[in-house]
Amino acid sequence: MGKFEEYSNKYKAIRMDRQDGILEITFHTDGGPLQWGGMPHEEFPRAFYDIGSDPENRVVIMTGTGDAFSGPPGSAESAPKRAPAQWDSTYWEGKHLLWNLLDIEVPIISAINGPALRHSEIPLLCDIVLASETASFQDSGHFISGLVPGDGMHIVMPMLLGLNRGRYFLLTGQTIDSAKALELGLVSEVLPGQDLLPRARELARQLAQQSDLVLRYTRVALTQYVKRMLHDILGYGLALEGLGSADSLMRQR
C-alpha cells in the first residue's frame, strides 16, 4: 500500500496536495504549463500507480498549471524516430500510462485549465470532466506530425466522439474548443477560469460523502468497458506506432 509522504514529492512533473482524502494533482514543467516529453511519459505511469495503491486517496482532482493543460504543439521535427529496441520503453510506458490511470479505483475529476494539445485522452478519461472557457483539444503529436496515433488516442477519441468524428479528429488535427467539446459530450461543464478549481473541489466534497467502498467500486464499475478496450487494442496500437516511428528513422538515413 502506498503512503502519501513517500510519493507526494517524488515526481518532477506533478505537484500533489491532499486534504480530507481529496488528492489534487497538478501537472507542470518547472512550475509552468506541462511540456510533454520523455520525463512526464516516464513519470506519469509510476505516479498513477502510487496514487492508485494508496487507500487514503478517496477522490482525485487532476489539473494543469497556468494557461495551458498540456503542450507544446507537436511537429514532424519533434515526433520520435526510434529503432525497435529504443521503442520498447515507450511501449511499456504507453501501456501503463493508461492502465495505471484506470487502476486508480476512486473517482477522478479533471479540471482542464487551458488547451490540451498533447495526450488529451488523459483528462478526458476522468469520471467528471470540467473545462475552462479557454480549454481546447487537439491531437497535435501524432498523425499530423507523422506518427501513428496508436498510444490510446485511437481508442479514446473514437469512443468519446463516435467512430467517424473520432477518425476525422485524429486524421485532420482538428482543434475542438470548449464550447464545441461541451456540445459533443467530451466535457460536462465549461466554466470561467477562476471558477474551475472551486467547482472541482465542490464536486469532490460531494462525492466524498459516500463510503470508501461505494467510491471505489463505482469507479471500478464505470471503467470496466474502457479497460477491456485498452486490453484488446492498446498494445497493438503502440506496436504500430513504433513501426511508423522506425520507418521515419530509416527514411532519414
Catalytic residue positions, numbered:
121
Peptide bond into 72 cis (omega under 30): yes
Write the DSSP string, 107-166.
Answer: -EEEEE-S-B-S-THHHHTSSEEEEETT-EE--TTSGGGT---TTTHHHHHHHHH-HHHH
Closest-CA residue to 151 (of 134, 170, 165, 131): 170
Residue linked to cell 477562476: 194
- Three-state DSSP at 146 gives coil
